Amino acid sequence: MVHTREAHRPDLSDCPPAKRNRGNPKLRIGDAGPMGRILVAGEPGNQIVPELAPAPGEIVLDKPGKGAFYGTPLDALLRQAGITHLLFMGVTTEVCVQTSMREANDRGYDSLLLEDCTESYFPEFKAAAVEMIRAQGAIVGWTATSAQLLPALR
């Protein structure tokens, strides 16, 4: 299992100004927030929640972009292990998850999104992202629920 989290170096050298200045938030990437600096590696708010903590031996990658492949060794790790099919879960459906699935598709991986294992701040964004992923015969990847997948894994 590979866990990813969007995280930047403390000096923000891997965070382009256009990304940091995006939108009109009260707090920007690197600013001090209630759980430490926003999206900075090692800060308390940038940790994986305990309920989903990696098991011993599972890989954790900090990613400087929205996608799991950009600026990480993920592709090389997967190819070295002979992995060709990926399961996707996480947040947010329409940004990091969908971006990672598109990156995977561009690299030749077959991908499956577990619909009930991903979420968004906006239900309509999640619904649209799921439809985009499976549109045109699964142009980006397939989708299913965990209830559909788990029996198949047994």
Express each pLDDT in 127-142 by its tens digit: 999 999 999 999 999 9
User: Which of helix, strand or coil describes residue 8?
Assistant: strand
* Statement: residue 11 has pLDDT above 90: yes
Kindly state the average pLDDT of the residues 122-131: 98
Q: Is the same domain home to 52 and 110? A: no
CATH of the domain at 140: 3.40.50.850
HSE-CB at 106 with a 13 A cutoff on CA atoms is 11
Express the helix, strand and coil content of the chain in percent, nearest 5 each. 35, 25, 40
The pLDDT-based confidence of 26 (bands split at 50, 70, 90) is: confident
Whether 22 shows a pLDDT value over 90: the answer reads no
Query: Looking at the 3D structure of the chain, how many domains does it have?
Result: 2
Q: Is residue 123 part of a domain?
A: yes
* Residue 8 belongs to domain spanning: 1-65
Position 25 pLDDT exceeds 80: no
Which DSSP string do the residues of 89-119 spell out, in sequence order? EEE-IIIIIHHHHHHHHHTT-EEEEEEEEEE
Which residues pair with residue 90 across a beta bridge?
Answer: 118
The three-state secondary structure class of 74 is: helix
| pLDDT at site 119 | 97
50 and 101 share a domain?
no
